[in-house]
Homo-oligomer: A and B are copies of this chain.
Amino acid sequence: MRIAVDAMGGDYAPAEIVAGCLLAAQQFPDTELLLVGDETALRAQLPAALPANLVVWHAPDTIAMDEDPAKSVRRKPDSSLAVAARLVAQGEAEALFSAGNTGAVTAAAALLIGRLRGVDRPGIATVLPSRNGWAIVCDVGANVDCKAEWIVQFGVMAAIYAEEVEGIANPRVGLLNIGEESSKGDSRSKSAHELFQAAGLNWIGNVDAKDTFRGVTDVIACDGFAGNLLLKASEGAAEYFVDLMRAALTKNWQTKLGALLVKPGLRQMKRKIDYSEYGGAFLLGIKGLVVIGHGRSNAKAVASALRRTRMGLEHRLVQRLETRFSPPEASVAVG
């Protein structure tokens, strides 16, 4: 397995990306990592003797975190992201990982690798913590102004992802909405609700944002605006909660003493909601495996994301999606 890594993308690139790749190279000796970026910058972060499964692939240019996504990809064909995407398009690598500008990664994937036949819009799938572990949300921001049909496709793709990569048999699929009844929501939600019933999924109906944390569903389908809102709101609420807790625990000597005692329990809790334990979001619907890391990815998050990327390759996620969206013609006519 070969993974092309955009080594210049991310808030802490290239240092943390390179460090994460070194970790992953050691953990997964069967996986080859193509570290794409400015060779001088990358060598400065690497040991003199590289691991056998890590290769530096020079790309002189870089796309910044705040550049216009589509334009930057078109204007910078020699950027680490564009070069890494072309390695996948040309079959030199089977997967792309980038912790760079999400919009630019999405644009590079769509423009340079291309969409799977039958998929209208690729969607970003990521995880939201819940009582049972995680729920998969798709789309979380690649698409706004969505049609109901696209939302249903996000649900179908995320269900295949949940089954293949997360190992959830017959995953439950729900539509993110503002109430459980089928009559709830805006007109698009109502159309999507109807289409979902015929989509051949383990469809459980509408789920509201509160229930998603209660583990009522494995897959949450939504348009990118709502999905992004859900994700950011939960991140914001968690951050706010941690702040409040810190203040509560350092209130006086008594609570400070108590804080020392509860620390091991809280550390375990933090692990449960820590994105770096999970790592990456999958861009589903592309003719190659594409995993997007959090902009703030550190080495540990990069290594986690590469482990998940490897799982996607192992479980042939892209091939499964392809089969579902454009099934091969039956070789023998029936009837």
Contact = CB atoms under 8 A, between A and B. Distances in A.
A131 B226 CA distance: 24
B265 A145 contact: no
Nearest to A129: B240
B262 A248 contact: yes
Contacts of A248: 262, 265-266, 268-269
A227 B193 CA distance: 20
A182 interface: no
Given A178-B228, A229-B229, A237 B243 contact: no
A264 B268 contact: no
Given A209-B232, A229-B226, A237-B233, A255 B244 contact: no
A269 B257 contact: no
Most buried by B among A209, A211, A259: A209
A144 interface: yes
A246 to B, nearest CB: 10
- In this complex, which of A176, A228, A260 has the most chain B Cβ atoms within 10 angstroms of its Cβ? A228
Nearest to A178: B228
A269 B281 CA distance: 33
Nearest to A185: B144
Contact of A244 (B210, B212, B249, B272): B272
Interface-centre pick from A251, A257, A258 (highest chain B CB count, 10 A): A258
Contact of A241 (B209, B233, B238, B254): B238
A228 B260 CA distance: 38
Q: Oligomeric state, in number of copies?
A: 2
A261 B265 contact: no
A261 B256 CA distance: 8
A208 B255 CA distance: 34
Interface string A187-210: 101000000000000000000111
B262 A236 contact: no
Nearest to A273: B244
B269 A265 contact: no
A213 B240 contact: yes
A210 B239 contact: yes
A109 to B, nearest CB: 19
B254 A261 contact: yes
Interface centre among A208, A236, A259 (most CB of B within 10 A): A236
26 contacts: A131-B240, A144-B178, A144-B186, A145-B187, A178-B232, A209-B233, A210-B235, A213-B239, A214-B240, A225-B226, A226-B226, A229-B233, A233-B233, A234-B234, A234-B237, A241-B273, A244-B269, A245-B266, A247-B265, A248-B262, A251-B268, A255-B261, A255-B265, A258-B261, A259-B262, A261-B261
Interface of A: 129-131, 141, 144-145, 176, 178, 185-187, 189, 208-214, 224-226, 228-241, 243-245, 247-249, 251-252, 254-255, 257-266, 268-269, 272-273
Given A209-B232, A241-B241, 18 more contacts: A130-B240, A144-B178, A144-B186, A145-B187, A185-B225, A186-B225, A209-B230, A209-B235, A210-B232, A210-B233, A237-B237, A244-B272, A248-B268, A252-B265, A255-B261, A255-B264, A257-B261, A259-B261
